[in-house]
């Protein structure tokens, strides 16, 4: 048996602390903002079923692989991949897989913080009752005017990044664990309240039917690829977050059980978000396929019309903030862990340095909605380029290489030792999926993203 490494950053106090942290990493704007509008765009129930299937066949196996690597290495993703490659007698070039994940997560944080800043602004808008007196056109103008105002976007971006840095600076148990122990239960409670209200509306039955009745004629090839991509990216795979969180996982925790629990919780949040949102859309005669504007334009129209809309609207955007916050701390953590390990500086200072760099990079995303909107490369703004390169190239490639390293290059003994599943049917099924099924799925996503499918 290989001598167990110990993380210098500490570890989660329990398996459940890891589950809440990793679920917090996975649950974010992608679940509550992106999943509902993709469901609306691609026809409802058929998309939902395909999404769940992709989580089972692609998401969970790769998540198990990434957690396995993290716990085996007990370091930042960069140092983990370097150590494991050396342990297996492989080229040191595998450390660049760690670098790619850390850089991808870092770049995502830079523009994610800008979008999360919108939720901060909308908490103020909903709380002040601005949606109650506004017409549909005026609600659309609230969003447009926010994007046109670089000063306001910068202020919200700065505030959200500061919230992220503060939590990460406090450490694994005092910061990350304490934050998710509050934020995740609060997020579920707020979601349940929203679903409870949706159940009281005239549109609830229609919303449930829309979400769970599959009309296969509405699922195109593009819709299938969107479901596959959403399943992969929703679980925060390939960006270093799950790997570094796995490095803090106690030795006696089951990687298989925790990965399945995280994926189920993440999927449950997405389904609950759909149950909270679509009944309101149907009850107030709004458009299901309104795209990214579903949350920031369409839903505020419903909040403006419903009883207690000021309370429910404010609660919904607080929920969205919590989801974004738990994800953002996981995006910053890999870079901070590397700075602590390799530069010998304190966690607080590392968090401040990394947060400042991400904040500076985010300025480009702020300006791409206003002062820089006419400056484009390949018809894409700065924000579009950052989102496209990370989500469509770096993350799929990272997920593919994680699967290859774990299933093809690591010794069978090391994998069995870390997974703790023995060599029975469950292990053989996982190994087959990670070797063949998941990589094929990721390659499909990648080829579609770069225009070959």
Q: 190-219, pLDDT tens digit by residue?
A: 888 888 888 988 889 998 998 888 877 777
Predicted confidence band of residue 160 (pLDDT cuts 50, 70, 90): very high
Quote the Cα angle for 173-406-58, to 5°. Answer: 85
Q: Which residue has the higher pLDDT, 144 or 393?
A: 144
Q: 85 pLDDT exceeds 60?
A: yes
- Output the pLDDT for position 1: 44
Residue 230 · residue 35 · CB < 8 Å:
yes
Average pLDDT estimate for 122-148? 89
User: How many C-alpha atoms does 116 have within 13 Å on its Cβ side?
Assistant: 29
96 has pLDDT over 80: yes
Q: Between these two residues, 10 and 44, which has the higher pLDDT value?
A: 44
- 377 by DSSP, 3-state: which? strand
In 94-187, beta strands by DSSP E: none
Average pLDDT (160-186) is 86
Is residue 154 within a helix (H) or strand (E), and if so which, with residue range?
helix 150-169
Per DSSP, what are the bridge partners of residue 377?
Answer: 380
Q: What is the pLDDT of residues 321-378, one digit of tens each?
A: 888 898 898 899 899 999 999 998 998 999 999 999 999 999 999 999 999 999 888 8
| Cβ-based neighbours of 377, under 8 Å, separated by 6 or more | 385
Q: Out of 125-129, 143-147, 285-289, which region has the weakest mean confidence (pLDDT)?
A: 285-289
Q: Are 254 and 420 in contact (CB under 8 A)?
A: yes
Q: What is the pLDDT of residue 249?
A: 87
Q: What is the pLDDT of residue 388?
A: 82
pLDDT in the model for residue 289: 65
Computed over every residue of the chain, the mean pLDDT equals 87
Q: Are 235 and 31 in contact (CB under 8 A)?
A: no
What's the pLDDT at 10?
67
Q: pLDDT at position 2, please?
A: 52
Domain 15-449 annotated CATH 1.10.20? no
Domains of the chain by residue range: 15-449
The phi, psi pair for 92, rounded to 5°, reads -70, -10
Distances in Å between the alpha carbon of 294 and those of 78, 123, 330?
38, 16, 26
Residue 306 confidence class, pLDDT cut points 50, 70, 90: confident
Length of the chain: 453
High-pLDDT (> 90) share of the chain, % = 41
d(CA 385, CA 368) in angstroms, rounded, equals 10
Q: What are residue 377's phi and psi, to 5 degrees?
A: -125, 120
CA 164 vs. chain centroid, Å, equals 15
- Ranked by mean pLDDT, the top range of 17-31, 48-62, 165-179 is 48-62
User: What whole-number distance in Å separates Cα of residue 324 and Cα of residue 386?
Assistant: 18
Percent of the chain with pLDDT over 70: 96
CA–centroid distance for 232 within its chain? 9
**Most distant pair of Cα atoms in the chain: their distance:** 67
- From residue 17, how far is each of 5, 30, 254, 362 by CA, in Å? 20, 22, 13, 30
Averaged pLDDT, 29-51 = 83
């Amino acid at each position: 048996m290989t001598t167990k490494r110990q993380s210098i950053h500490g570890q989660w106090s329990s398996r459940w602390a890891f589950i809440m942290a990793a679920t917090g990493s996975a649950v974010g704007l992608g679940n509550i903002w992106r999943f509902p509008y993709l469901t609306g765009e691609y026809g409802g129930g058929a998309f939902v079923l395909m999404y769940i299937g992709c989580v089972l066949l692609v998401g969970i196996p790769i998540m198990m692989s990434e957690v396995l690597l993290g716990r085996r290495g007990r370091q930042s993703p960069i140092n983990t991949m370097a150590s494991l490659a050396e342990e297996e007698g492989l080229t040191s070039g595998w450390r660049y897989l760690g670098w790619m994940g850390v850089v991808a997560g870092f770049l995502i944080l830079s523009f994610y913080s800008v979008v999360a800043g919108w939720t901060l602004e909308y908490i103020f808008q909903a709380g002040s009752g601005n949606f109650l007196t506004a017409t549909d056109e005026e609600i659309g103008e609230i969003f447009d005017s926010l994007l046109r105002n670089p000063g306001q976007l910068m202020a919200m971006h700065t505030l959200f990044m500061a919230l992220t840095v503060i939590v990460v600076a406090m450490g694994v148990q005092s910061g990350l664990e304490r934050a998710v122990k509050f934020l995740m239960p609060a997020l579920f409670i707020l979601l349940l309240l929203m679903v409870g209200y949706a159940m009281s509306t005239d549109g609830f039955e229609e919303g449930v039917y829309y979400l769970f009745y599959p009309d296969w004629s509405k699922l195109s090839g593009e819709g299938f690829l969107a479901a596959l991509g959403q399943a992969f990216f929703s679980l925060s795979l390939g960006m270093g977050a799950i790997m570094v969180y796995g490095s803090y996982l106690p030795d006696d925790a089951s990687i298989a059980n925790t990965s399945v629990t995280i994926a189920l919780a993440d999927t449950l949040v997405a389904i609950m978000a759909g149950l909270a949102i679509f009944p309101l859309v149907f009850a107030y005669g709004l458009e299901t396929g309104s795209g990214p504007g579903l949350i920031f334009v369409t839903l505020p129209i419903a909040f403006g019309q419903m009883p207690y809309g000021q309370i429910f609207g404010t609660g919904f955007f607080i929920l969205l903030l919590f989801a974004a916050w738990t994800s953002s701390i996981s995006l910053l953590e890999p870079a901070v862990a590397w700075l602590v390990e390799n530069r010998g500086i304190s966690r607080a200072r590392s968090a401040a340095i990394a947060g400042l760099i991400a904040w500076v990079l985010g300025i480009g995303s702020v300006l791409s909605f206003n002062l820089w909107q006419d400056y484009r490369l390949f018809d894409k703004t700065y924000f579009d380029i950052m989102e496209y390169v990370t989500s469509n190239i770096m993350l799929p490639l990272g997920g593919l290489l994680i699967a290859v390293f774990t299933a093809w290059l690591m010794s069978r003994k090391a994998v069995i030792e870390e997974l703790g599943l023995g060599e029975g049917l469950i292990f053989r099924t996982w190994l087959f999926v990670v070797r063949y099924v998941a990589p094929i799925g990721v390659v499909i996503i990648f080829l579609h993203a770069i225009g070959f499918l």
